[in-house]
Amino acid sequence: MIIIPARLASTRFPQKVLADIGGLPMVVRTAKAVMSVDDVVVATDDELILSTCKDHDIKAMMTSTTHKSGTDRINECAQLLDIADDEIIINVQADEPFIETAVVKALIDRLDTLKKKNEPFIMGSCYNAINKEAAQDPNLVKVILDDANNAIYFSRSPIPYDRSGDASYFGHIGIYGFTKKSLYEFCNLSDAPIEDIEKLEQLRAIYHQKKISMVKVSSTGFGIDTEEDLKKAKEIFLK
């Protein structure tokens, strides 16, 4: 099950998820990009997004307007759906219209492997290699890993610090996967001080000693975080 959290009143970019991308609202284009992989539901807090999705035959559900994060929103949606506790839930952001199906499938495969191992807590995400210049961008989250490809830390700062001059950098791709049970557990963990400092909620899992399994992928997709990103996306669809 793929659940796309979609909030209308974005602080930095209001109504971003309804911006036109090649003739389709952004949230609809994102949903259509991944619907060949699994069932897709948009979890929203606004009737306009709900009706827009339904106009394009995308399943959508209303959720609370008080959620702190998109993860909390998909958790509410997952609890309302009639699915098993071990069902894999993939959180795809509504502002990722260029997400590749190969990335989603790679994450699902990793989570399936963890399920077969009966891991008590199952959470995963993706990353790719980035250059030193990209690592300086605070909008591009970086991740460092242990030898089992679990995340050690995420940061908006370039990590690791390149004192030796030969550091490699990995960029986090903002797609998450959980089992329904682990998603519920994550959302009921207490907030971690560091997540509010970095504004990265995945740090809550690390703070509470939960593993986040990371999958290396090749991806040219990008999220729409700024007006410049939106302009770039529109230009791509005009070619």
Q: Are residues 63 and 113 in the same domain?
A: no
Residue 148 has pLDDT above 60, yes or no: yes
Whether 235 is in a domain gets the answer: no
Nearest to 183 by CA among 139, 127, 224, 125: 125
Tokens, residue 6: 């979609």
**Stated pTM of the model:** 0.90
**Model pLDDT for residues 77-116, shown as the tens digit of each residue:** 999 998 999 999 999 998 888 899 999 999 999 999 999 9
Tokens, residue 210: 């939960």
Running DSSP on this structure, what letter comes out for residue 150? B
Q: At what angle do helices 26-34 and 47-55 cross, to 10 degrees?
A: 50
Q: Are residues 112 and 69 in the same domain?
A: no
**Model pLDDT for residues 6-62, shown as the tens digit of each residue:** 987 765 666 888 888 888 998 999 999 999 999 999 999 999 999 999 999 999 999
Give the CATH number for residue 76. Answer: 3.90.550.10
The last residue of one of the domains, among 66, 95, 124, is 95
**Model pLDDT for residues 227-237, shown as the tens digit of each residue:** 777 677 777 77
What is residue 19's predicted lDDT score, i.e. its pLDDT?
87
Whether 234 is in a domain gets the answer: no
Report the distance separating Cα 142 and Cα 170, nearest Å: 6
How many independent structural domains does the chain possess?
A: 2
Containing structural domain, residue 196: 100-220
Residue 236 three-state SS: helix
- Spell out a b/e string for 143-182, using b for 16 or more CB atoms within 10 Å of the CB, else e: bbbeeeeebebbbeebbbeeeeeeeebbbbbbbbbbbbbb
Running DSSP on this structure, what letter comes out for residue 127? E
Q: Are residues 12 and 31 in the same domain?
A: yes
